[in-house]
Structure 1
Amino acid sequence: MVGPAGVPQRKMTYWNVKGSLVDSANEQVRVPNVIALVGLPARGKTYISHKLCRYLNWIGIKTKAFNVGEYRRKACNLEEEGEFEFFSPHNNKGNKIREDCARLAIEDMGRYLDSKEGEVAILDATNTTRARRRLLVDYCREMHHNPPFRVFFVESVCDDPDIINSNITEIKIFSPDYKGIMSEEAAKEDFMKRIEMYKMQYEPIDEECDEDLSYIKVINAGKSFYVHNVNGHVQSRVVYFLMNIHLLPQKHLPHSSWRK
């Protein structure tokens, strides 16, 4: 899809909106929001999380990100757990640790919102299974939250090998899982195997199965979008922001990329 002067335009394939940017200015104060990332490793989820957190705080919506990977790094040492094997769906010990870390992050997130310390919490995790996402939705809807939280999923979908390779390069250089622990080539090989572990259990958000959810699919770092059930001021802000920024670090953008 090409716009004026031959500039490629980003494509939005579907939009179902229950709220808008003209909602009450106090909407985000009355109803706490959880923004949950979804997607395989090396799809730019943490980059999106950081960008969203900075933006929402900048416009006056107090926001904090909760990165499940940081909880996992505190709970165990991958050198001792076998690097990529730790993420296998058949590794019972690894699964237990990762489930516990996700639960701790979600509980911390809940306390942050219940205490009114913040208005939006970003859950930076893979959330690759439907069961994990349902657990999160059920937790946020529990009546002891006053009021219950709204949940909006941001799924980063990517099959562009250039984007994936760029993200892997960033990870193998800067990730605490690998920095100073193994060579860059060994780190890349291990991380590629980790991605395969996640692929074995990944259930993408589905238009029919997940019709009740609110979400945006960001496809190939913003080349196209699929937006569903936007509900309220905060979610509208998130959609607007994601559709109007670069979703890759500038040095990794191809010269022909859409620019704003």
Structure 2
Amino acid sequence: MHNSLASSSPSSASPTTSEPEQQLAVLPPPALRNGHPIAAPMAMTAMAQAVRGIKDLTDTPPLSQSVNSTAPSSPRMPPQRQNSGSQTPRVRPHATTLNIPGMTRSRVSPDGRIPQRDVAAKLVIVMVGLPARGKSYITKKLQRYLSWQQHDSRIFNVGNRRRHAAGIKVSANSRLAPEPDCLDPPVQAATILLNGMPAPRALAPDRLEPPTMLNLNHAVGEERGDADQSAKFFDPKNERASAMRDQVAMDTLDELLDYLLNRGGAVGILDATNSTIKRRQQIVDRIRHREPKLGILFVESICRDQHLLEANMRLKLSGPDYRDKDPHKSLEDFKDRVAAYASAYEPVGKYEEDNDMQYIQMIDVGRKLVQHRLKGFLSGGISNYLLSFNLAPRQIWITRHGQSIDNELGKLGGDSPLTERGHCYGQALYRFITQKRKEWIMEQKSKMAQASFPPHPGDNTPPYPDMNRDLDEKNFCVWTSMLQRSVETAEYFDADDDYDVKNWEMLNELNSGQFESMTYDEIASKYPEEFHKRSRDKLNYIYPGVGGEGYLQVISRLRDMVREIERITDHVLIIGHRSVCRVLMAYFMDLTREDITDMDVPLGMLYSIEPKPYGIAFHAYKYDEMRGWFEEMPNYKPQKAARGSV
């Protein structure tokens, strides 16, 4: 056997190894039965000659010979897409994993957004709950958060479509408001069902006629009147109204599915009561018929706190169904409406669990959360976000640091200290915030003293359920980055025990990589291609070099910061940097992705945000350096920054 290995052909040996020679060198001579005395030396000589022959054939020439060779090198062939050797196309679904804009990248999703192909990663959120349980409040915050995270999302409100079909005025800001010359097909269908005839088309805006009304609370053939959508309309025994509600709900759902399947949407939120198992199963069946792989998440809002219920009802009485009506009669009608829904209400629970449906049950707007079978990155992120909700009245202040030495020189990034003007800004900021903190407490106490339920006509007091708590005990947090210019701006707050100052690395300025401490003129001159590349797409651009970031990376690292801001019940002042302030303002003001990178946030501007059940109250103040104080800018609107800004 050893002899056969030694005499194996050159083609069977590796051309780049000397292993056969090593093995042959240590092999003992074969035992020769009855051999001649000189047989062994002769065998050894023959073996040595054979080894030299093999070595001559198998030795690789030196590297210098290979480099100097005139033979053409083999071209590098790119890898070809394989199909596992099969002649049939792939039928196994693609893997569905998380997609985070700016943090993940793939062939089908170079920007990290959910690709149109990845239907299983998309999500239909179906709201569940009785009226005045905060469903619309939750949907608006969810949509704002998901959009800020760069996931294309939209709310589809069944109530708005119902009001429109019934001829009730819908806010101009509603996404369901029709174009002046036509109605979209779902609204047209609902209008036909409600009025018995299609709405007029192709009318000029100044000649629009009010839609025909039909009071669904009367029998067929009775006199027509305003479709006032009173409690009788929501009575389960009102078959005609029930059919109309079902039609509007399914049409709204179809529009949502079109958005996800045909128009690039990632998350669609169906905002309606969906209060029965039958209705929820209809929704699931409709979705599964259109696209079996779409994710479905039920989010139920339950309110057991009477203060919270009263606040929600107060908000409802100022809504479109009761606008300009007597508040006492409106309250009674609304309670009757809730009772009508409650008579047939079936909470989320055992049925959904038995049918393996994922759901989140939210009690008292975040006090307690129950969840079942959550699947996917979006559902998990939504659950974490909902845990952060609270309705405590508070103020959120956002500003940039005072002027730094690098600001004077027009340099990017760096970690330079404040100038003398920057220190003056920090002192004025401390005095102004301290004054506003006192004014806020007095204002809230005044609102508490004047609040009534039901509200008096014209009473727009925000319906805070936590307003009866001790406002004097509310803490005031001051958060800065780890950079000198931000920390030094807060030094007067840090010297006052009434403020809690903390430095956060996630609040640091966007890292400019190899362009740190350079001016824009220097970048444009030395790296014109990078300069123009960034100008074309600032949102997706990432600075080259070690540690270089882009706006999407800043959004990602501020995700936990936003959740913490939503969670705390205390006031907070954030002393940040231009990119950080832009990203935070984009979240609270629900700016589009196109606006995030161009919002003008100059030095010396101070922004105040008060979360409200209906959105936010926003105020802007400008620093007057001569007076050392801040002046409010009424009717302030975010402006686009000057060309070439960071």
TM-score by length of 2: 0.35
Aligned to 1:75: 165
**How far apart, CA to CA, are the structure 1 residues paired with 2:244 and 2:393?**
31
**How far apart, CA to CA, are the structure 1 residues paired with 2:359 and 2:278?**
16
Aligned to 1:14: none
The 5-angstrom pairing of residues 1-260 of structure 1 reads: 23-25=98-100, 28-29=114-115, 30=118, 31-76=121-166, 79-80=226-227, 83-142=230-289, 144-145=290-291, 148-173=293-318, 175-180=319-324, 182-206=325-349, 208-211=350-353, 212-246=356-390, 252-254=464-466, 255=469, 259=568
**How far apart, CA to CA, are the structure 1 residues paired with 2:162 and 2:98?**
38
Tell me, yes or no, if the aligned pair for 1:140 and 1:150 is still in contact at 8 Å.
no
**How far apart, CA to CA, are the structure 2 residues paired with 1:185 and 1:154?**
31
Change in CA separation of 1:101 and 1:82 when aligned onto 2, cut-off 3 Å: closer
Task: Supply the AA of the counterpart residue of 1:187.
Answer: S
Report the Cα offset of residue 102 of structure 1.
Answer: 0.1
Tell me, yes or no, if the aligned pair for 2:113 and 2:151 is still in contact at 8 Å.
no
Report the Cα offset of residue 67 of structure 1.
Answer: 0.3
Report the Cα offset of residue 28 of structure 1.
Answer: 4.4
Report the Cα offset of residue 117 of structure 1.
Answer: 2.7
**How far apart, CA to CA, are the structure 1 residues paired with 2:288 and 2:341?**
27
Tell me, yes or no, if the aligned pair for 1:53 and 1:63 is still in contact at 8 Å.
yes
**How far apart, CA to CA, are the structure 1 residues paired with 2:261 and 2:382?**
21
Name the SS for the 1:226 alignment partner: strand
**How far apart, CA to CA, are the structure 1 residues paired with 2:280 and 2:148?**
28
Tell me, yes or no, if the aligned pair for 1:178 and 1:187 is still in contact at 8 Å.
yes
**How far apart, CA to CA, are the structure 1 residues paired with 2:284 and 2:302?**
21
Aligned to 2:614: none
Tell me, yes or no, if the aligned pair for 2:365 and 2:389 is still in contact at 8 Å.
no
Tell me, yes or no, if the aligned pair for 1:28 and 1:234 is still in contact at 8 Å.
no
Tell me, yes or no, if the aligned pair for 1:64 and 1:122 is still in contact at 8 Å.
yes
Task: Supply the AA of the counterpart residue of 1:245.
Answer: F
**How far apart, CA to CA, are the structure 2 residues paired with 1:248 and 1:95?**
37
Name the SS for the 1:210 alignment partner: helix
Task: Supply the AA of the counterpart residue of 1:170.
Answer: L
Tell me, yes or no, if the aligned pair for 2:158 and 2:252 is still in contact at 8 Å.
yes
Task: Supply the AA of the counterpart residue of 1:236.
Answer: G
Change in CA separation of 1:82 and 1:71 when aligned onto 2, cut-off 3 Å: closer
Of stretches 208-217 and 164-173 in structure 1, the one that deviates more from structure 2 is: 208-217
Tell me, yes or no, if the aligned pair for 1:33 and 1:152 is still in contact at 8 Å.
yes
Name the SS for the 1:177 alignment partner: coil
Change in CA separation of 1:28 and 1:155 when aligned onto 2, cut-off 3 Å: farther
Tell me, yes or no, if the aligned pair for 1:72 and 1:98 is still in contact at 8 Å.
yes
**How far apart, CA to CA, are the structure 2 residues paired with 1:118 and 1:27?**
10
Name the SS for the 1:216 alignment partner: strand
Tell me, yes or no, if the aligned pair for 2:228 and 2:321 is still in contact at 8 Å.
no
Q: Deviations over 1:121-145 (max 9, x none)?
A: 0000000000111111122222x43
**RMSD of Structure 2 on Structure 1 (CA):** 2.2
Task: Supply the AA of the counterpart residue of 1:49.
Answer: T
Structure 1 gap ranges (5+): 1-21
Q: Deviations over 1:48-104 (max 9, x none)?
A: 000000000000100000000011101225743561100000001110110011011
**How far apart, CA to CA, are the structure 2 residues paired with 1:205 and 1:27?**
31
Structure 2 gap ranges (5+): 1-96, 101-111, 168-214, 216-225, 395-461, 475-566, 570-646
Task: Supply the AA of the counterpart residue of 2:342.
Answer: K
Report the Cα offset of residue 27 of structure 1.
Answer: 8.2
Task: Supply the AA of the counterpart residue of 1:150.
Answer: G
Change in CA separation of 1:188 and 1:230 when aligned onto 2, cut-off 3 Å: same
Report the Cα offset of residue 24 of structure 1.
Answer: 4.8
Higher RCO (Cα < 8 Å, 6 or more apart): 1
Stretches (4+) displaced over 6 A: none
Task: Supply the AA of the counterpart residue of 2:271.
Answer: D
State the identity as a percent. 33
**How far apart, CA to CA, are the structure 2 residues paired with 1:198 and 1:67?**
17
Q: Deviations over 1:183-229 (max 9, x none)?
A: 111111110100000001100011x3211110110011111110111
**How far apart, CA to CA, are the structure 2 residues paired with 1:33 and 1:65?**
12
**How far apart, CA to CA, are the structure 2 residues paired with 1:80 and 1:51?**
30
Of stretches 27-36 and 131-140 in structure 1, the one that deviates more from structure 2 is: 27-36
